[in-house]
Structure 1
Amino acid sequence: MNLPNKLTMLRIILIPVFIIVLMTGHYYISAIIFILASSTDALDGYIARKYNLVTNFGKIMDPLADKMLVLSALVCLVELGDIAGWMVIVILAREFTITGLRTVAAAQGIVIAAGWSGKFKTVLQMIAVPALLLQNWPFSLIGFPFAEIMLWASVIMTIISGIEYVIKNKSVFSM
């Protein structure tokens, strides 16, 4: 297993650690763990492209690891009463749809790599989650709702990127 794939696996391994820390009320420590895990996403992609270590495993597991990390955080934040459940349902619906699309494509020998809109959606989510975990600090000091804006932006981008993936890959459904 190459280094980018090991970083993807590290992100997956950090998920239960993150959940335990968050659900025991340690918001700031869980934010640090989330940021650490999220940073492996950018790092593994950079290394994979720079050193030509892109693999089908990475194309599939990297976005899946991102989804698992972000969705774990969002579901926990719903459980803790910090965000509205409907927002997470919208995000989950998009993720299940695109994962299903990728599964159908894979059965046909096609690998659908993450597109730019999906990557931007993930970046917005990975900014929103720590902002929520930090209870909008330091923006709360000046009354600016940064965490809420990032959450809304990520939901909107989730919808846009989902529509884009389905349109771009509609031929997969007709095979």
Structure 2
Amino acid sequence: MKVSQLPNLITVSRIALAPVLILLLKDQQYAAALAVFLVAGASDALDGWIAKRFKFVTRLGSILDPLADKVLLVSSYVMLTVLDQLPFWLTLSVVFRDLLIVSGYLAYTSMVGPVKMSPSNLSKLNTLMQIALIFALLVQLAVPLSYPLLTEALFYIVFTTTVASGVHYVWVWGFVKIKKVEKSSARGGVRG
């Protein structure tokens, strides 16, 4: 293995933590699930830091890293919903938004060709809020603490940022970029 592939190896190990997290949640081993969630978060920070610090950024890594984040988050949301710890409507909004973005990206690239897509600030805020909710909920379940107002407030914050960032992606990639491509095509250009 090349040293330059270390960030990708860390990212793949984060994906491998998803089934472990699911099993721990299923068995209601919330303290262990919290530990796995924290390790996954630390590995996310570490692989990003290594990739940027040592210029090991790769196309594969730019695909795997957000995929690993989504696998862990969606797994957590679905399992916690199955366990009646999260409302179904919230998890549905999270999953629907991610499917909308992926299908929109695939449709866009099939029309225009490969395109570099980076998360917006709103999307980054949404991911942060999704992580904060899972963290707060796992802490509440692992430690005999109860702060239902915080978790309920986070339900609505996550729902709001999820819908807002989904609408933002549809607007930017669904309307603005396609209009740009149409204008470019009309002028004889290839891409927008």
The structural deviation recorded for 1:137 is 7.3
The structural deviation recorded for 1:33 is 0.5
Give 3-state SS (helix, strand or coil) of 1:82's partner.
coil
Match of 1:135 in 2: 140
Give 3-state SS (helix, strand or coil) of 2:57's partner.
coil
Over residues 123-162 of structure 1, what are the superposed CA-to-partner deviations in whole Å (9 max), with x where a residue is unaligned? 1111110211222677946x56323323322221111111
Q: Aligned match of 2:27 in 19, 24, 30?
A: 24
Greater mean deviation of Cα atoms: 132-141 or 101-110: 132-141
The structural deviation recorded for 1:74 is 0.7
Question: How is 1:21-100 mapped onto 2 (pairs within 5 angstroms)?
Answer: 21-100=24-103
* Count of aligned pairs between the two proteins: 174
For residues 57 and 151 of structure 1, do their structure 2 counterparts lie closer, same or farther at Cα, with a shift above 3 Å needed? Answer: farther
RMSD in angstroms over aligned alpha carbons? 2.4
Give the Cα–Cα distance (whole angstroms) in 1 for the partners of residues 159 and 55 of structure 2: 33
The structural deviation recorded for 1:120 is 1.7
Give the Cα–Cα distance (whole angstroms) in 2 for the partners of residues 26 and 127 of structure 1: 19
For residues 38 and 105 of structure 1, do their structure 2 counterparts lie closer, same or farther at Cα, with a shift above 3 Å needed? Answer: farther
Give yes or no for the alignment of 1:165 onto 2:157: no
**Structure 2 runs not aligned, ≥5 long:** 183-192
Give the Cα–Cα distance (whole angstroms) in 2 for the partners of residues 54 and 74 of structure 1: 29
Give yes or no for the alignment of 1:123 onto 2:123: no
Per the normalisation by structure 1, the TM-score is: 0.86
- Letter matched to residue 126 of structure 1: I
Match of 2:187 in 1: none
Larger Rg: 2
**Structure 1 runs not aligned, ≥5 long:** none
Do 1:8 and 1:41's aligned partners in 2 also have CA atoms closer than 8 Å?
A: yes
Give the Cα–Cα distance (whole angstroms) in 2 for the partners of residues 35 and 113 of structure 1: 24
Match of 1:14 in 2: 17
Over residues 37-61 of structure 1, what are the superposed CA-to-partner deviations in whole Å (9 max), with x where a residue is unaligned? 1222222223222322222222222
Do 1:139 and 1:146's aligned partners in 2 also have CA atoms closer than 8 Å?
A: no
Per the normalisation by structure 2, the TM-score is: 0.79
